[in-house]
Amino acid sequence: MPEPTAKLVVVTGASTGLGASTARELARRGFHVLAGVRRARDADALRSTGIEPVILDITQAEHVAALASRVADDPRALHAVVNNAGIQVNGPVEALPLEQWRRVFEVNLFGHVAVTQALLPALLRGRGRVVNISSIGGRTAMPTYGAYAGAKFALEAVSDSLRREVEPLGVRVVVVEPGGVRTEMATRGVATANHLAAGMTPEQDERYGGLVQAINSLMTSGTASGLTADAAARVVARAVTTRRPRTRYTAGRDAALIIGLARVLPDRTLDRVFATTLRRHYPAATA
């Protein structure tokens, strides 16, 4: 039998949302996609022509090692790794338990580093690329986004450092910064924020209760008006396939606007912009 000719792409966090849409878009473009999912039922839902689901929790060393072995055993070149897996956990810096900070960084930063380290030898052989899915939260941090944005800021820094290390060796490193995307992640994020807010002390609730509600309202409205997962996936596919990709791509008008403002406005002015935007989302009694 002849060897398969389609190049490999790895997409983490492909169970639903942006990851699943990215896997489908890249398969449609002729890649063989190793799609990381957490559960067998997610694998069954995603499996199709060009998509091979693999059970992958990026925080589990044995899962990452198994993925690296699967790639090493394949005769096809590894064209790209799309580090997409992520969770959203919001809460005020004072009130967010430290174990939640560690959980966010394990998934949204250290897991991506682990996958990248494991697959870089294959990427170097194939002169492939790393595509890290960041966020507008990787360039500017709204209130209660300390943990999430902190991990995304760090991912942006890691991407810059990695790019300067491996692009001379033929491996491209690209960051994609989505704004609001209509996926289950934001819905889960609101539910998580409400659960964590219920654990605040009365004093913390007095200080931050209205703020948490305002952020949740803003997140919900921003998600509802945001890109579809399929539209965001086409931006990721561009980062994967463009011969000479930019170092960063935004996805969505909100991402382009907010990141553009963050580049030019002084911090205090940007603070006032965020405060004004949030004001109409506060509960009436606390606005």
CB 89 within 8 A of CB 147: yes
In a domain, 287, yes or no: no
| Structure confidence at residue 188 (pLDDT) | 82
In a domain, 213, yes or no: yes
Question: How far apart (Å, rounded) are the C-alpha atoms in residues 23 and 124?
Answer: 22
- What lies within 8 Å, CB to CB, of 92 at 6+ separation is 143, 144, 146, 200, 204, 207, 208, 211, 212
∠ CA 180-184-188, rounded to 5°: 100
In a domain, 2, yes or no: no
In a domain, 286, yes or no: no
Compute mean pLDDT per 10 residues along the chain, 287 residues long, and list them.
70 96 97 96 95 98 98 97 96 96 98 98 97 96 96 98 98 96 80 90 95 91 84 97 96 92 95 94 73
Question: How far apart (Å, rounded) are the C-alpha atoms in residues 201 and 212?
Answer: 14
Query: Dihedral angle at the C-alpha atoms of 249, 250, 252, 257, nearest 10 degrees?
Result: -140
Domain count, the chain: 1
In a domain, 15, yes or no: yes
Q: Which residue among the candidates 148, 208, 249, 282 is catalytic per the annotation?
A: 148
- What lies within 8 Å, CB to CB, of 118 at 6+ separation is 64, 65, 67, 68
In a domain, 285, yes or no: no
The DSSP bridge pattern shows strands 8-11 and 78-83 to be parallel
Active site residue 145: no
In a domain, 1, yes or no: no
| Structure confidence at residue 285 (pLDDT) | 62
CB 33 within 8 A of CB 54: no
List the domain range (segments joined by +) for residue 70.
8-279
38: number of Cβ within 10 Å:
17
Q: Indicate which CATH number applies to the domain containing 228.
A: 3.40.50.720
In a domain, 151, yes or no: yes
